[in-house]
Amino acid sequence: MVSKRKKKFTSGEGSKFITRRAALRKLQVSLREFRRLCILKGIYPREPRNRKKAQKGDTGIKTLYNLKDIQFLLHEPIVWKLRDIKTSSRKIAKARALKDYEKIHKFNNSYPTLKLDHIVKERYPTFIDALRDLDDCLTLCFLFSTFPSMPHIPRDQSALCQRLTTEFMHYVIEARALRKVFVSIKGYYYQAEIKGQTVTWIVPHHFSFEPQNRAEVDFKLMSIFVEFYTVLLGFVNFRLYHSLNLYYPPKFPGISPNNIEKQLVDEDVFVSERVSALNFNIAKTSIDNVEEEVEIDEFSNEEDPEKLVEAKKEAESIKSLKSLFKGLKIFLNREIPREPLVFMIRCFGGEVSWDKLLFVGATFDENDESITHQIVDRPSMNKQYISRYYVQPQWIFDSINSRELMPVNKYFIGEVLPPHLSPFSNKGYNDIYIPPEEKALYDPSLLEAMHKKDEEANSSSSEDENDVEKTTEQPSLNHEDQGVQEDTKQNKLSVTPGQVYREDPMKKNKDERQEYRLREKMVKNKHRRLYKSMMEGKRERKKEIWLLRKKRRLHEEKVTNEKKEAKKLKKKGVTN
C-alpha cells in the first residue's frame, strides 16, 4: 500500500506558527481589536528557530504568533463582546446621521461593556502570582494618575488610577511594608515587601503636564494596559485591606466635617480629600492586630549557620526600621513635595503636617513647640525655633536607606549634601561601576579607610617636614662602634633562608590566555552567536567602567587642586 506523501510545511516548524494577517482572518477582527485582545490576554509574538520554515518558505520578516495562542483566542468571550461593541457603535452612528435622538439614547443606555474579571483570574491563578506581577501595574497606574483630561484617554481613567494608587499607599503605610527609597530625575523609586514578595515601582515628579506628539507616545495603546491593570489593582487592594482587617473602600474613625466644611463639600468629597492627604489612620473592622512577626526556625535545613545569623540580623533590622521615625513630629515647608515625604514618614511611624492653608489634612501648625524636625529646601529662613532641627529632604531618604537616623549636621540649611546613593544596586554583579561611597555604604571598614586617606592627605606635608628634621638630628656612629657591631653580628648563629621560586607573571598570563582560547573552541556552534554577544556586552561594560573611573579620578584631582589653590590664597591673605 502506497503511503500518502506529506505536503511541505504541514508538520514541524511550519505548522507551529501563524502570521498576523492569517490570525486576523481566522479571528475575524480588525487590527486594533486584535491588538487589544492580545494585550488583555497576555499574548505576544514569538521568534521561531528557523524563520524561513515558519514562514512557509518566505524569506521576509513577518510578525509571527504561536498557532495554539490564536486557537486559544477563538474561545474567548471577549471576542464576541468586541463584535457587539462594533455593531452598537455602527447603530449609534447611523442614528446620529438620521438625527433620531430616541434611538441614540436607547443605544447608549444598552451599550455593551467589557468585564475583565475572568481574565485576571485566568492570568493570575493565585494571589502571590498577582503580587509578583505588580511592578509594571503600579508604575503605569501612578503615571496615569498624574495625567489631566486628554482626548485619547477615557475621561475617568486617570481619576480611577489616582484613587487606586492612593488606596495602595494607605495599605503600605498601615502594614509598614516600605523598605527602600530613592529619588532621581525620573521620579521616586519605592520598594516594599508584601506577603514575602518584593514590589518595586516608580512615581513620577508632580510637574505640569507637557503635551506630547502622538507619534512619540501611543497613549491609546498604554490606555489598554491601564484598563487591565486597574482591574488587577482593584482586586489586589481588596485582598490586602482585608488581610489587615481594614474597611475597603477606606473609612476614617471618628472624623466628621466641621459646619463650614459641610456647607462647602459633601461627605464623599470630604472623605476622598482626607484619603488623598495620606495623613489619617484608616478604620479597622476589628481591633485585633494582624501584624505578622517573622519567626526564624533554628532547626531549618540550612547547612550554613552564617546564613541563619544573617537572616536573624535582617529580621531585627527590619523590625527596628518599621519604627524609625516613631516619636518624631515633622513639619513640611511649602516648597517641599508633600505626597512622597508624607508617605515615607508615615510608613515608619512618624507624625507629619504642613501649612493648613496649603492643602487639606494638616494635623498641627508650624508654631507647635513639640515639632522635632522641619524639612526645608531653601538657602535660609528668617524665623527659626531653637527646639527643632531644620534639615533638607535628603535626610529622610538617607535615614531610610541606612535604617538609622542619620546625623543632622550634614543636612542643615545651606550645607553641601553627601552623595545620594541608590540602594537598588545588585551586589553580586561585578560588571558595573560602583562608586567608593556606595561601597562604603555596604562595608563600614571602607568608610573608615576613606576618612583615614583624607586625613593622611591633609597631614602629609607636615609629616614630610618632621621626617627631614628627624634625619638631620640623628647622631652618627664612630668607625670603632660600627666594627664592634659587625663582629657581634657575625658571632651570632644565623639561618640563611631558602630561595623562593618566583613564577614569571608574563608566562602565567600567557598560559591562562591559551587555556581560555581552548575553552572557547569547545563552545557548540548553536551557542556560538550567543556567546559572542555576551562577550561583546562584557567588553562594553568594562569600557564603561573604565570611562567612569577616569571621570571620577579627574573630578577628584580637580577638587584637590581647587582646595590647594584656596589654601594658598588664604595664606597669602594672612601674610598680607
For the ranges 160-164, 278-282, 512-516, which has the lowest average pLDDT? 278-282
pLDDT above 90: residue 182: yes
What CATH number is given for 323-411 in this structure? 3.40.50.10190
DSSP readout, 370-423? T--EEE--SS--SS--TTSEEE-THHHHHHHHHTSPPPGGGGBTTPPPPP---T
Which pLDDT belongs to residue 541?
87
Higher pLDDT, 148 or 406: 406
How far apart CA 29 and CA 22 sit, in angstroms, is 11
How far apart CA 372 and CA 104 sit, in angstroms, is 62
Across the range 170-180, mean pLDDT stands at 92
How far apart CA 108 and CA 91 sit, in angstroms, is 10
Q: Is 166 within 8 Å of 278 (Cβ atoms)?
A: yes
Which pLDDT belongs to residue 441?
62
Q: Is 296 within 8 Å of 375 (Cβ atoms)?
A: no
Across the range 545-562, mean pLDDT stands at 89
pLDDT above 50: residue 464: no
Across the range 492-521, mean pLDDT stands at 82
Across the range 208-237, mean pLDDT stands at 84
The domain spans of the chain are: 12-75, 79-109, 117-207+217-277, 323-411, 430-453+532-576
Strand (E) or helix (H) holding 220: helix 219-243
In this prediction the pTM is 0.77
Which pLDDT belongs to residue 459?
59
